[in-house]
Structure formats: structure tokens, C-alpha cells
Structure 1
Amino acid sequence: MQSGSRRSWRIATPFFVLALGAGLAGCGDGKDKEAARAPETIRAMETQVVRKELVEPVTGTGTVIADKTTVLGPRVTGIIDKVFVKVGDRVKEGDPLFQTRDIELKLKVAELENQVKLAEANLRNAARAFGRSAELHDKGFVSNGGLDNARATRDTAAAQLGIAQAQLAGIRQQLADSIVRAPFDGVVTRRDVDEGKFMTTMGVDVSMGSGANSGSGVVQVMKIDTVYAIVQIPETDLRRVGVGTRAKVTVDGLGRSFDTEAAVVNDSVDAASRAVQLRLPIGNGDYAVKPGMFVRAELYPAPRSVLALDRSAVQGTESARYVFISENGVARRVPVTLRQIDASTVEVLSGLKEGQQALTGPNLPLIADGTPIKVETVAANLP
């Protein structure tokens, strides 16, 4: 019996070992599967939603114009006798620019001066005659009709003197106007006529035929100690700018920028381009900035308060933006409405409040809604 029992143990033992091994193996597989199903904790950083003052420049392009531009033609009809300036000359107010031949005017002045002297003599005689007539009328030697005639003669002589004096003043003014002078400090930018051309006060070149207009004056003068940048901006930005808005104008041709402010905002919007013109003054004491130059302008409206967030925290497409926040050690997806400020910052329009933290960092693409997270560091806040 004993020997039989030993044989039974020897036979049974291998089956027991196999069964025990299978049971232990089964227990191990369950734990491994459970461990495989447990989500992995992801390390992340946070960045804060902060309030900041935002200045968003309004940009535009345009052209430089002179402060004043005047094309000057003759003030009296005649031959252009002398042109005193050339293109590029700087002139002061009152400097002579050109002269119309004045010999006929000087002769006319002399003639009218004598006409005035003659009228003055006639008036003196008529006044004395009236005085005598008045005395004799008082004594009864001159009738009322005779006194009236003497008075009329005196008044006529006075009127003739007035006419002669007015004619003399007019011709003297023409003589003065034969020299055309600079109306302001500036620079000569065009000269269209040389000496010898006959021109009327309307700029007519008689050599071209009766009534033919030459279409130009003699010289053009520009006032450019101050110039203006005429800049166009979209009408959608009109509400953000106004007279006094700070600006910077860059003249690419000079490689220089000038600080200024909007002096004029045009009240008319161009119907074709939907643009508004602004006038920005530029101090130009050295005349370096030339009318016609291309300029770029940045205008700086008053700052506005915004909620700003680091762009690195934002996920999703343009139509469905979202961020992740940490909630009890778990990532929670939060839809947000944003507006781009610059390459690294967005404005939060909805979805987050000031002071809230959004997840960021290199592991952000691995995070989904409900992912266990561990915040290790806090990303630097926006400036």
C-alpha cells in the first residue's frame, strides 16, 4: 500500500505543478492588462491669462506733398524780359522771380503824372473862380445861375483830378507788378519760360496764335520747410484714428523715420478703394524730403485693455479653437474664441477669465480631454 501511495504522489505531482503554474500565470496576466489600461500621467506647464494694454498700429502708404505749391505767371501783359531764378534755387518771400518788360509802363506813368498835374491846376483855377463868384453873389453882382455854373466847373475839375490820380495809381501798380516776387519762402521746382516770350496775364503764349493757352506759368515755387505725407488707410480703421493720433512716417528713399501726428482726417471716403486720406506733417528744415516721395506710416491709436494668452497654449483649427486647463490633476478641454495679436500672442474674447492658467509645453500634443497631468513648472507670463 505504501509503495502504491508513493507512486500516486509521483504521478500527481506534475499535474499539480502545472495547474499551480497556470493559476499563477493567469493572475499575472490580469494585473498586466489592468496596468496597460491605466492612462499615463503627462507632464505639462501652464501659462496665465493676463490683462494688458494693447496698442495696435494702423498702417498705410502714401506720397509726400508740399505745404504750398504755386505756379506763377505774369501779372501784366508783355514780353518776359528777365527770369532771375532757375530750378533748385531757394527763395525767400519777396525775392524777385521774373520781370515783364516795363518801358511802356514807365512812359505811361510819366504821361499820367502830367495828367494829374494838369488836373490839379484846373482844379485850383476852378476853385478860385468859384470863390470869387461866391463873394460877388453875396454882394448881388452874380446871379444864382452864375454861382451854380462856377460850382459845377469846380466840381468837374475835382472829378477829373480824381480820375487822373486813379489812372496813375493803376499804372504804377502795373509797373510794380511787372516784377513777380516769391509769395513765400520756398524752392523753385519748375521753370517753363525763358526770356523773350510774349505772355498775357492769363498765361497765353501769343506766338501760338490768338487765344492759344500755353498751359503753364513762368515758374513753380513750392514751400517745403514743412511737407505732408498724404496716407491712405482702410475705412474700417477710421474709427480708431483721429486728429492728433500719434504716428511715425518712414521715407524709404532716405532711410529715415519721422515722429508726427495726424493733422487732417479727410471727411470723404473714396468709393472705389474704400480708403480714407490722412495728412501727416513732417518737419523738413533741410529740404531732404522731396514732394512725390513714397512713404509708409504707422499710426498709434489709444491703447485698449485686452485679455492676452501665449499662442503656444492654443489648439484646434481656425473655426474651433480650444485650450486645456488643469482640473484636479486632469486636463479639461475648454473652447475659446480668440483673435490674433501677433505671432506669439492672442487675445481671449471668450472661454477664459483673467488669471486662469492654460496648459502648454512640449507635451501639449499628447494631452487629450481627461488625461492625467502633472504640472511641473509655470511658463513665463506675457510681458
Structure 2
Amino acid sequence: MQETSHEVNTEHQVRNQLRKKIRRQRIKRVVTTVVVLALIALALYLYSFYKTNSRFPWAQAKAPVTAVKEVEAKVYENTFTTTIDLSGYVEPNDTQKVILRATGTVTKVYVKEGDVVKKGDVLIAIDDTTQQYNVANLKAELEQLEVTGSERDIELAKLKLQSAMNSLDYTKAYANFDGVVAEVNVSEGDYFDAGSSAMTIIDRSSLKATVEIDEIDMQYVKLGQKAVLYFDSYPESSIEADVTYIPMLGRYTNQGIGVMDVQLTIPDPPQSIAPGYTFEGSISSEGETKLVLLPQSAVTTTRGSSTVTKKLADGSTVSVPVTVKYLGEGISQLLSGDLKVGDTLLVKRTDTSAGALAGFGGGSPGGSMGVRMR
């Protein structure tokens, strides 16, 4: 009995020790978890505080820095030359697709590719036996009616004869202008239907090109203005062209830009330049243009009215109404207003915009500016 009691006591002690060990492990895990969570919470708080205040809680707070500053900028003058870059290809001054207006067998082709033709020359003839017969028959009918027929019958016979003569004329194709045969698609013995194209004639006495010009650049383009073109097929020099047509209507591109399709003409072009050849070139405005400029950031616009703040000699300021035109890159042209070159303007800016005003510190820089490279 004593041995049994002793064994029970020993087992009970072992169990108690095991329970104490498990309890200590649980307390240790809880304490560790609490410490880790506290450290994470502290780190998040410090990060949020630093992000908001740009300092840690134990650091001394700095005096706030004003984000907007006033700097001075000068009204200045610059000289501009306007250049519009061009590209495209040339076409003949005129093109005739020679159409056969009668159906039948081709009996004669009078020209070949490369031949020079004059306006009115016969180019192609179709079998006209039926048309010749109809004309002769109607002439005989008219002669008889002029003796025995009524005035009404005579008038109708004349109309029939005129129609037959037109049909006879349709058996031939003619050149509409002086030019060169560029393509022949018919041979003697071919059967052609009315409306088919048999050959092509071009007028190479001058060449033309259609170039796309941005709506902003159109203010610098005038009829008769000169353009300078460069062709890979003519490396000797540039070729001069004239602005010969400006349409009344522009068009809207897929990129959302308004453009004009302006026509250029090259009078008496070199023979080495053929229709279809491409070119690069430019149109330059005549002379140079002097513009009075100021930074766009100096302009304040409220309800459609624009003003600038002008600094006077005694250090005081005055608001000056102005009219400006924005030219891009932070620059505006002065159109009207009580300002002159050299006047000082106050411009409000943030520190991050310092580079944008580097060119407005003073003086009157010279130079030139191309209008929209293409």
C-alpha cells in the first residue's frame, strides 16, 4: 500500500511540473507577441509622423517655409524668323486618263509611251463603220426632208444627225492639253468597252505638291510665297517652288489638329525630277519679326481680363491690364498694355519652378525660333 501511494504522489508531482512548464511557455509567447506588436505600432507611428512633419517627434520643429515666392522678371525683346518645315511628293501639273467613249475594236493607236502630244491630237481610233453609215444615212434623209418635209420633221432630222455625228466623234480619243504620254494600255485589235481607260497623258511643264500645314503656322503663309525644296534625285542644289493655292476650308486630323492642304508649284522643273519623287523643304517668312515677350507666369487672368504686376522705380507696384498671346514654353507675346522693354514684373512661383524663369532674369537675348518642326 505504501509503495502504491508513493507512486501516485510521484506521478502527481511530474504532472504539476509539466503544467508549470507549459504555463511559463504560454506567458513567454504572449509577452513576446505583445512586445513585437508594440514595436510595429511604434514604427508605424514614427513613419507617419515623419511623413507628415518631415521630422521625428523628438526633433525640434522648424519654422514653416513659404512655398510661394515673388521673383522679378524683365519684359524683353527678341527677334524671330519663322520657318515651317515641309515634306511630300510631287505630281504632274495636269493628268488625263484617256477614256474610250465608244465600244468596239481598236483600229489605230497613234502614239506610244514617251511621245509628246499637242492639245487636240488624235490618240486612239475605234472601228467606226456603223457610225459612218448612220451619219451618211441621216444626211440623205435630211436632204430629202428639206425638199418635201415639214419644218418640224426637218428639225428632228437635224437633231438625229447631230447625235449620230457625236457618236462618230466618240470613236476617237483626243489629247486635252499639251503633254507627254506616260502610259499606254491598249493595242490595235483590242476590243474595248465605252468608259475604259486606254492611256495616261501628263503635263510635266510644271510640277505641283500638296503639303499639310498646321493651323497655327498658316498665319505665316501667303500666296506667291517662296518655298525651298530638296530632292534626293537632284543633289546639285535646292529647287524653288511657289505657294499657288490656299484652300478656303481646312480639315481636322485624327490627332485633333486643324490643318490646311496648301499647294506648291515648281515651274519648269529639271527632267531628273519625275512625278512621285519625294522632297523635304521649308517655307520662311520674309524678314525678321521683333516681339516683346514676358513670362506667362507673370500674367493673371480673371474673368477674361489679364493683368501683370509691374514694379516701379520707387519699389512700389501697380497692376497693369495687358493682352498677350501664348507662344509656348512658358513665354507670351505682349500685344497691348502699358509695358515697355526693360520693365520689371513680379512673378509668383514655387521653388520647383526656378528653372523655368532662368531666361527671364533680365537683358534682351537675341536669336531665332522655328515655327513647329514637322
TM-score by length of 2: 0.54
User: What's the offset of the Cα at 1:285?
Assistant: 5.6
Please point out which of 102, 117, 122 is paired with 2:128.
102
| TM-aligned CA deviation for residue 53 of structure 1 | 4.5
Where do 5+ consecutive residues of structure 2 fail to align? 1-75, 294-328, 331-353, 369-374
Q: Secondary structure at the match of 2:234?
A: coil
Gap change, CA 1:164 and 1:286, over 3 Å in 2: farther
1:197 to 165, 190, 193: 190
Find the counterpart in structure 2 of residue 329 from structure 1.
Answer: none
Mapped partners of 1:178, 1:338: distance in 2: 76
CA distance in 2, matches of 1:270, 1:195: 48
> Which residues of 2 match residues 221-236 of structure 1 at below 5 A?
221-236=201-216
What residue identity is the alignment partner of 2:242?
Answer: E
Letter in 1 for 2:140: N
- Opposite residue 196 of structure 1, the aligned amino acid is G
Aligned partner of 2:96 in structure 1 is: 70
Deviations 1:304-323 (A, max 9, x none): 11589xxxxxxxxx99xxxx
CA offset at residue 290 of structure 1?
1.5
Asked if 1 retains the 8 angstrom alpha-carbon contact of 2:79 and 2:367, the reply is: no
Note closer, same or farther for the CA distance 1:258–1:119 as it changes in structure 2 (3 Å cut): same
1:238-257 equivalent positions in 2, closer than 5 A: 238-255=218-235, 256-257=237-238
Quote how far apart the aligned CAs of 1:191 are: 1.6
Residues 64-101 of structure 1: CA distance to partner in whole angstroms, max 9, x if unpaired? 01222121111222222211122222211111111111
Any stretches of 5+ residues in structure 1 without a counterpart? 1-49, 124-156, 204-216, 309-317, 320-334, 340-347, 357-380
**Does residue 1:277 correspond to 2:261, yes or no?**
yes
State the shift of 1:338 in Å.
Answer: 8.2
Letter of the 1:304 partner, please give it. T
One-letter identity of the residue aligned with 2:164 = I
How far apart are the structure 2 equivalents of 1:104 and 1:382? 76
Query: Take 1:229 and 1:251, find their aligned partners in 2: how far apart are those partners?
Result: 13
Post-superposition shift, 1:116? 0.8
What is the aligned residue count? 231
Quick one: distance in 1 between partners of 2:116 and 2:270?
11
Q: Tell me the amino acid that sits aligned with residue 289 of structure 1.
A: I
What secondary structure is seen at the aligned counterpart in 2 of 1:86? coil
| TM-score normalised by L of structure 1 | 0.53
Counterpart residue identity of residue 280, structure 1: L
Aligned-partner residue type, residue 201 of structure 1: A
* Partner Cα separation in structure 2 for residue 195 and residue 351 of structure 1: 81
The equivalent residue for 1:326 is none
Q: Distance in 2 between matches of 1:173 and 1:110?
A: 13
Deviation per CA, 1:268-326: give whole Å up to 9, x if none. 23412545432110013654432111011210124311589xxxxxxxxx99xxxxxxx
Partner of 2:177: 184
The residue that corresponds to 2:363 in the other structure is 353
Q: Which amino acid aligns with 2:180?
A: V
Percent identity for Structure 1 against Structure 2: 22
CA RMSD, 1 decimal: 3.2
1:219 matched to 2:199? The reply is: yes
**Corresponding residue for residue 263 of structure 1:** 244
Change (3 A) 1:72 1:91: same
